[in-house]
Amino acid sequence: MGCLFTLVALLVQPLYGINLWFSDQLFTSEPPSPNIVIAGIDDDTLDTYGRWAEWPRTLHAQAIDNLSQAGAKVIGFDVIFADSSSDDEMLATAMVKADNVVLAAVGTQRVSQARAEITYDNFLLPIASLEQAVSNIGHANVVPDGDGTVRRLPLLVKSSSGQVYPALALAVLHRLFSMPLPQEYLLENGTVNLLARDIPVDTSYYLRINFSADNERRPYVSYGDVISGDFNPSIVNNKIVLIGMTATGEPDAWAIPTSVSKIPGVFIHAAAMDTILTERFLIKPGIIITLMIMLLLVSITAFALPRCGTWYWRDVAKGVGITGGLFVASLVAGFFAFDRGYSLDLLYPLLLLPVVYVGNVLYMVVSEQSDKKFVKELFGRYISPQVAKEILSRADAGELRLGGEQREVSVLFADIRNYTPISEQLSPEAIVEMLNTYLSVVTDSVVQHDGIVNKFWGDSIIAVWNAPQSRPEHALLAVKAAWEAQQKAAELQKSDNRPLPVQFGIGINTGIALAGNIGSVGRSEYTVIGDSVNIASRICSSAPGGEVWIGAETYNQTKDYIETEELEPQKLKGKAAPIIVYRVTAWRPITPQNKSRPSPS
């Protein structure tokens, strides 16, 4: 089951969105870099200077001059200047003078085709005069995952004509380090070498962003204050300043893993720069690593869980403990791996553990039930299904221990008469065949009437009623089983061509005996012992072949159903006084006097 779940999880990837959300919870509250400042075009700025579309570009020129004078290292605009205006020359002059401005471009109409890089049909670019005045241009496209959350940023995108546009974060950082943008971006072993760093990306050049869990601590200044010059220069001195829209209700807002509310896109570009500057890269291992982790968990649980059992609380505690321990260990390992830059898929391995545990329990239950069925069927050859069920239930409850209990039982002894002369005339194989044939007649009758075949002893059988399962009519059942066994044996003799007839002498006695497990801790046997058992054996020894003799108590409990002949008191071995014995001669028909009493099944 564990292997099947692993294949389904990795190939089909159900719960895809939940898996992404689960990985999002691994981010820690690392503070954002103090070297990147957001100049937000916020509600106060718009209240002061009016609608964005109506702004004169002299305001941006004034902001650039103020930032340059305050010592800003790089000024990046996460806004598009795609339309011409009468103030473009003044803005271009300010950009040239600052010599550290990076502008944004945005790709539109994404192309769906089998290309590694993200490709767009069209691009919104700064007008030519501004494009020529700035240091670099980078794309400001933000591409969310399937669940709408932004976790990655493409470090480069292409136009349908093949033009490459680096991410705004890359364009700004190259200007920061006074490094020209590369002509090509070579992907080798899952990394691209930029800014003297091996930056891990996937085949589409996506960078996993290591978001800060506390965006409110990002250095921030209102763009309105920048325009007016009413800000502390130390905030931006020698820093990267990213200018972007942060006003309420703007469409450039995105869900990220570390925030319950959407954040402006300019914060995402800042987080990407943070990830590259600090080299706190996140690598998502491939499906092979996840497969190996899950197969390792399957191997450990497959070895450990079957040894715990299923039925007793201590076994359940062991299984839950192993599963819970692996669960916690996997979770802790996932956190440690994340801290070291590896974003593991944790959901599927963690779900695997309870799935394997439940599967193991189900397997063990089915297996144990199958074993019980086999044992019950095996018992059924010697005892009734009801007695077998009673013994198994007591074994499950741990009650089949050494010792016993005093209870009234009916004990049947059956012994083949003239066994020695018969066996002298037969080969060993024929003796075994004869014993199996005739002993089966007695055992079948015993089992049919809810008795337990307690022991085979050469050519003899010992059977017991009312132990371990209580049967109030045990004496009557024992006599009924003996009588029917004699009738079947007599029928069998008619077709038997052996020189000497095979006949049973059967003796039954009812009385108090000790019933329980006798033996040692390692080997015990369920049996009955006591004087009443010995009397049954002695009665059997005296009974002729083909007859059923019963003791006085057995007679008292069955006399309404049988016809008997009281015999001369028998002098039995080991008994000082003679014992009254009865020979069963027939079954008495049902009469008003006995029909109200229970009859044997």
Q: What is the pLDDT of residues 77-107, one digit of tens each?
A: 999 999 999 999 999 999 999 999 999 999 9
- Cα angle 142, 166, 270; round to 5: 50
DSSP state of 124: E
User: On the CB side of 453, how many CA atoms lie within 13 Å of its CA?
Assistant: 23
Q: What is the pLDDT of residues 290-304, one digit of tens each?
A: 788 878 888 877 777
Mean pLDDT of 47-76: 95
Q: What is the CA radius of gyration of the chain?
A: 47
Q: Which of 53-57, 366-370, 422-426, 476-480: highest mean pLDDT?
A: 476-480
Quickly count: other Cβ atoms within 10 Å of residue 57's Cβ: 19
Higher pLDDT, 325 or 487: 487
Using DSSP bridges, classify how beta strands 156-159 and 191-194 pair: parallel, antiparallel or unpaired: unpaired
Q: At what angle do helices 88-98 and 58-69 cross, to 10 degrees?
A: 10
Mean pLDDT of 249-276: 92
Mean pLDDT of the chain: 85
CATH 1.10.20.10 assigned to 384-587: no
Higher pLDDT, 415 or 403: 415
Label residue 457 by pLDDT band (50, 70, 90).
Answer: confident
Q: Answer whether residue 590 shows pLDDT above 60.
A: no
Which residue, 211, 210, 207, 208, is CA-closest to 185? Answer: 207
Q: Answer whether residue 311 shows pLDDT above 60.
A: no
Which residue, 328, 360, 361, is CA-closest to 346? Answer: 328
Whether the CB-CB separation of 205 and 155 falls below 8 Å is answered with yes
Higher pLDDT, 253 or 311: 253
Tell me the C-alpha distance between 561 and 586, whole Å. 9
pLDDT at 601: 47
Q: Is 414 exposed, middle or buried (0-12, 13-18, 19+ CB in 10 A)?
A: buried
Domain-by-domain residue ranges, the chain?
Answer: 35-278, 287-377, 384-587
Number of helices (H), then strands (E), belonging to the chain: the values are: 18, 24
Mean pLDDT of 579-601: 70
Largest CA distance in the chain: 140
Higher pLDDT, 18 or 536: 536
pLDDT at 313: 47
Tell me the C-alpha distance between 9 and 19, whole Å. 10
Whether the CB-CB separation of 399 and 466 falls below 8 Å is answered with no
Q: Which residues of 286-296 are buried (b: 16+ CB within 10 A; e: fewer)?
A: eeeebeebbee
pLDDT at 472: 92
Percent of the chain clearing pLDDT 90 (strictly above): 53
Whether the CB-CB separation of 454 and 464 falls below 8 Å is answered with yes
